[in-house]
Amino acid sequence: MDIIRQRIQDFFSTPPEGQKVEVLGWVRSVRESKQVAFLHLSDGSTTAPLQVVVDKTREELASCLETLRTGASVRVVGTLRPSPGTKQPVEIHAEALTVLGPAPEDYPLQKKRHSFEFLREIAHLRPRTNTIGAVMRVRNTLAWEIHRFFQERGFLYVHTPIITTGDAEGAGALFRVTTLPPDAPYDPTEDFFGAPAFLTVSGQLEAEAYALAFVNVYTFGPTFRAENSHTPRHLAEFWMVEPEMAFCDLEGDMHLAEEFITHLLEAVLERHPEEMAFFEQWIAPGLTDQLEAVVNTPFTHMTYTEVIEHLKKAPASFTFPPEWGMDLQTEHERYLTEELVKGPVIVTDYPKEIKAFYMKQNPDGRTVRAMDVLVPRLGEIIGGSQREDDYERLLARMQELGMRIEAYQWYLDLRRYGGAPHAGFGLGFDRLVQYVTGMQNIRDVIPFPRTPGNAAF
Ligand code: ATP
Ligand code: MN
């Protein structure tokens, strides 16, 4: 009879009962009585561990147990039987047991609840925990579904550069890339690229060039911001998804953003009932209902000006009193999404002073065709806009802001050579994972978080 080797999740979902099976995984816990030992194994495929029953009266099995501790990796061959316990449908009765990689008694991940702060200090081992396991499976599905969403709609996946020269978009929060020795005075002409170079903060400008050739494109890659923000929703290195569409205006952009979020939430709710139940129980009670409500309710739209009026009338008292022209603070976004609307809100037509230079100006001369998607708990998850496609107006705005025009001539040229109305947005991928899983800190939804003072792992 052949030995069936499969992942633990498959043993639960399609159990080859009564058959000889092999399982490879890591020991979560060992519980021993006189006659038998119970091992709980995991292999990252599911939250529930697989129980292995070991008959200690069998010499070769008992001797193996001596070196077998929590954390060890093992190979088990045995028979799959219905489990008399109610937690799992099946268990394995071991016939052969091999410790492939032992673990010492002071293995850091013992069977108890560890704080997320502690787990960040052992970022190389935390993927073996239930929470990080569930988060990473959902993260994986989201990444896959992002590609599927765009590919099914004919979008071209573009790889925009990671290293860019010239002063990028918002400036300020940039990581410099250099090969010059740190103690020499900085002379860009001596540097590798012959100009100051930085890690990208966004692939948008380059994506625009591709949208003006392929119509619909998207990027999905790492971005870097050296902002010194110690918040639960900022990373120094994070992943961004940026669709860009030619022959598209702000309405089309918002429509796509809503369809996109809805698709992703639906996919996770459908494919990860087990993970969602886990988050519901341990991380964020009410999460599933919340996400289902988002899927089933059209997003609320409001202009920035309307938002300010609502905030001024709000019964809540804010640390930053709402005033037209100010950037919306976290407290404002939370009031809006959690109390006033109780769901996602798309805010449009922001004052041009608080938005980027490339956004299309409205005829009023004060606001731009920008849109942010705000969600409960997190605030901004998407930032987008229709882009300024008028050469003269874009140039004037850049001059007004004192930007170095030479560095952006190629970008301006896109408006001279077959320009077209176009629009796009940026979704913070890690924030999306945080939103869907209910995790409080963005550092716990990315494998190895980079934040001020920390890139140790
Ligand atoms: P915020 O005001 O929250 O800092 P932002 O206005 O700087 O966001 P954009 O420049 O519009 O954000 O970037 C697009 C998206 O990228 C944001 O909507 C957010 O989801 C995500 N994002 C921005 N900065 C970070 C960061 N430091 N870490 C993780 N995600 C981020
Ligand atoms: Mn920011």
pLDDT tens digits, one per residue of 403-420:
989 989 999 999 999 999
Q: Is 387 in the pocket of ligand 1 (CB under 6 A)?
A: no
Give start-end residues of each CATH 2.40.50.140 domain in the chain.
Answer: 4-101
Check: CB of residue 367 under 8 Å from CB of residue 350. Answer: yes
Q: Is 235 in the pocket of ligand 1 (CB under 6 A)?
A: yes
Atom 31 in ligand 1: which residue has the minimum CA distance?
428
Mean pLDDT of 428-452: 97
* pLDDT higher than 70, residue 1: no
pTM of the predicted model as reported, rounded to 2 decimal places: 0.96
Q: Is 338 in the pocket of ligand 1 (CB under 6 A)?
A: no
Q: Is 383 in the pocket of ligand 1 (CB under 6 A)?
A: yes
List CB contacts of 141: < 8 A, sequence separation 6 or more: 267, 268, 271, 272
Band of the pLDDT at 101, cuts 50, 70, 90? very high
Q: Is 443 in the pocket of ligand 1 (CB under 6 A)?
A: no
Ligand 1 geometric centre to CA of 428 (Å):
6
**15 or 243, which is more confident:** 243
Q: Which of 179-188, 212-221, 247-256, 274-283 has the lowest mean pLDDT?
A: 179-188
* pLDDT higher than 50, residue 148: yes
Q: Is the dihedral of CA 257, 258, 262, 265 positive or negative?
A: positive
Atom 8 in ligand 1: which residue has the minimum CA distance?
380
Check: CB of residue 417 under 8 Å from CB of residue 88. Answer: no
Distance from C-alpha of 35 to C-alpha of 99, rounded to nearest angstrom? 20
* pLDDT of 2: 84
Distance from C-alpha of 9 to C-alpha of 196, rounded to nearest angstrom? 50
Say what percent of the chain tops pLDDT 90.
89
* pLDDT of 171: 47
Q: By C-alpha distance, which of 428, 343, 356, 364 is closest to 386?
A: 356
**Tokens found for residue 86:** 């109610």
pLDDT tens-digit readout, 247-266: 999 999 999 999 999 999 99
The ligand placed nearest to the CA atom of residue 234 is 1
Ligand 1 geometric centre to CA of 289 (Å):
26
Q: Is 69 in the pocket of ligand 1 (CB under 6 A)?
A: no
* pLDDT of 184: 85
Give start-end residues of each CATH 3.30.930.10 domain in the chain.
Answer: 126-163+206-444
pLDDT tens-digit readout, 153-204: 999 999 999 999 865 555 458 999 999 998 988 899 999 999 999 999 999 9
Check: CB of residue 59 under 8 Å from CB of residue 118. Answer: no
In this structure, what is the dihedral angle of CA atoms 339, 270, 429, 389, given to the nearest 10 degrees?
A: -80
What is the CATH number that goes with domain 4-101?
2.40.50.140
* pLDDT higher than 80, residue 93: yes
Distance from C-alpha of 321 to C-alpha of 331, rounded to nearest angstrom? 10
* pLDDT higher than 80, residue 144: yes
Q: Distances from the Cα of 248 to the Cαs of 85, 212, 371, 390, in angstroms? A: 58, 11, 14, 15
Q: Is 261 in the pocket of ligand 1 (CB under 6 A)?
A: no
Q: What does pLDDT average to over the chain?
A: 94
Where are the alpha helices (H) located in 109-242, listed in sequence order?
Answer: 116-121, 130-152, 204-214
> Which atom from ligand 1 is nearest to the alpha carbon of 373?
18
Band of the pLDDT at 280, cuts 50, 70, 90? very high
The ligand placed nearest to the CA atom of residue 219 is 1
* pLDDT higher than 60, residue 422: yes
Distance from C-alpha of 423 to C-alpha of 61, rounded to nearest angstrom? 64
- What letter represents residue 273's amino acid? P
* pLDDT of 412: 98
Which SS3 state, helix, strand or coil, does residue 415 take?
A: coil
Q: Is 381 in the pocket of ligand 1 (CB under 6 A)?
A: yes
Band of the pLDDT at 86, cuts 50, 70, 90? low
Q: Distances from the Cα of 368 to the Cαs of 204, 345, 352, in angstroms? A: 17, 18, 5
Atom 21 in ligand 1: which residue has the minimum CA distance?
428
Check: CB of residue 381 under 8 Å from CB of residue 435. Answer: yes
* pLDDT higher than 80, residue 437: yes
What is the CATH number that goes with domain 126-163+206-444?
3.30.930.10
* pLDDT of 110: 87
Q: Is 384 in the pocket of ligand 1 (CB under 6 A)?
A: no
